[in-house]
Each structure stands twice: as structure tokens, then as C-alpha cells.
Amino acid sequence: MALGAAVWAPWQETVAPVLPMMPLTMAIIVLGQAFPEELLWRGHLQDTLSGRLSPRAVLIIVSVVFGALHILSSSPADTVTERLLYLVTASALGFACAAALVRGGALWMAVGVHTGFHMGHRLLPTQGIEYGVQLVILACTLAVTGFALLAPLGRKGRQAEAQGRIATKSA
């Protein structure tokens, strides 16, 4: 908004009419998209790779492959650049969800991040003026979210982990 890349869509026209359906929409997102994808990507692949690779390598691989698979998704991207930015944004979502799993120690936090991402798009719709810029901002925001979720696992986080205040997966 501040950069002029998008404007808020008229809420009364876009969200208000479908607001009564939001609980159903959320259930569909959780059951049809967020939970199945997180079960596959974080619940299976991330868990499987965690036994073989470093935590950093697992985060990178799972995030990039999750993003790359979104080449098959439909999006409003018109140009090759926008399509690539869409994949980067999907990778950033994958990173935020992977970080949520690492931080929370269970799949549900990743499902919550994934669900929140999609619900946010429905409750706060925008009209793109510069879709590519919107994607860059969104990707950066998701990446910062992922790093923020991992930050407690730094120096002070290791102390908290040792004291049992942060959920982690045991080896």
C-alpha cells in the first residue's frame, strides 16, 4: 500500500458479502489445502530429511521444492518475472511454515501459518497495481516471519530449549 504497488479492494464489495461464509471457507482451507500440504511437506518430507541432513539444508530444500511445485498453481502472474516471483513467494511461505514446525515442534503451528496466509488474502484483499512488487513484499514478509520464528532458537533459544521452554524435535 505504502509503495503504491496495490490498493485495498473495496471491503464492502469484496469481503462483507461473503463474511458469513468465512468459517466454512476456513474449514475448506484447513482441510483441503493447509493440512494436507503441511502433512506432506512438513510432516513427512521435512521429518524424513531431518534424519539425514542438517537443519539448514532441510529448511532450504523443503522450502524451495515446495515453492517450485507451485509452478503448477494458478496465479494472476502475467509475465515470466511475475511467475518467478510467485514461485519465490511460495518458497517463502514454505520457509515460514517449515520454521513454524521447527519452532513449535508440531505440525499444527505450520498449518496455522499456512491457513493464516490464505485467510489473510480473503479478509484483506488488494487490487494489484504492480503485482510483481506485491509479490516481492509478500515474499520478504514471509521470510522475515520465518526468521522471526527461528530467532528464539539462536543463542538464548538454546538455553530456553535446554530448560524445556521451546518445543523441539528430539533426534
101 belongs to a structural domain: yes
53 belongs to a structural domain: yes
14 belongs to a structural domain: no
Q: How many domains does the chain have?
A: 1
30 belongs to a structural domain: no
Q: Count CB-CB contacts under 10 A for residue 72.
A: 6
89 belongs to a structural domain: yes
The Cα–Cα gap between 120 and 118 comes to 5
pLDDT, residue 171, reads 41
Range of the domain at 131: 36-148
pLDDT tens digits, one per residue of 149-166: 998 766 655 555 555 555
96 belongs to a structural domain: yes
Residue located via cell numbers 496495490: 6
79 belongs to a structural domain: yes
The Cα–Cα gap between 45 and 49 comes to 6
pLDDT < 70 regions, the chain: 1-6, 128, 153-171
Q: Residue 8: helix, strand or coil by DSSP?
A: strand
164 belongs to a structural domain: no
pLDDT, residue 167, reads 54
